[in-house]
Every structure is written in C-alpha cells, then in structure tokens.
Amino acid sequence: SDRPEWSDVIPIAQDDGPNPVVPIAYSAEFSNTMDYFRAILQSDERSERALQLTEDVIALNSGNYTAWHFRRLCLFVLGSDLRKELQFVKGMAEESPKNYQLWYHRRVIVDTIGD
C-alpha cells in the first residue's frame, strides 16, 4: 500500500460475490482508499487519520453518504473546528453544487454551530 500510516490496519476488499453480473473496473486509488475505509468503518476508528481518510473518499466520490456520515462522527468525537469544516464543505460545493449529501452535512454542521 502507499499508505504507511495505515500499516496497522488490514484493508477490507469489496466483496461482489463469486459471480458479479457486471463487475466495475475501479481505479487502483479508489479500491485502495475504499478498502481502508471499510476497515475503519468496521473497527469504528474515529481519529484524525480516519477523518483524513473520509476526505480522500469524498474526493473520489462526493456522493458517498457513508463517508459524510462517518466524517461527522469523527468531527464531533475529535472536537474539530466546525468553522474550518464549513470551509471544506464550501470548496466541495463549488465542485458539486447539487450534491444532496454535502448539503445535508453542511446543514448538520451549521445547526451544531448554531449559525
């Protein structure tokens, strides 16, 4: 793996079963990132590196609801700066303005801040 910071984590490959009807040709980067994401979801690791991994997942697929949800869990557990998170969301919204998951995430963050 090209993720030395994850050397203590065993990635979990996607299981499409023995005979997938239409296998998807994911990029190596996408597969690698998602394999580690599945591993942290399974272990429920809420850490700075898990938060960074959610950013990587969202960069690859900004419509991934699970990544946004887990990102919120990490942000809240870590006591992260939610105003900084709004800047992250703003940048993502410029790239994907019709992304429901992004706008829901923003709403939760704004409600939490109280703005």
Cβ pair 51, 81 in contact under 8 A: no
Tokens matching residue 53: 């991994």
> Using CA of residue 2, residue 11, residue 48, residue 94, what is the dihedral sign?
positive
State the helix-helix crossing angle for 65-78 and 100-113, rounded to 10 degrees: 20
Whether 98 is a known active-site residue: answer yes
20: left (phi over 0), alpha (psi -120 to 50) or beta: beta
Give the active site residue among 8, 98, 111, 114: 98
Give me the amino acid identity at 28: A
**Catalytically active residues, by annotation:** 98
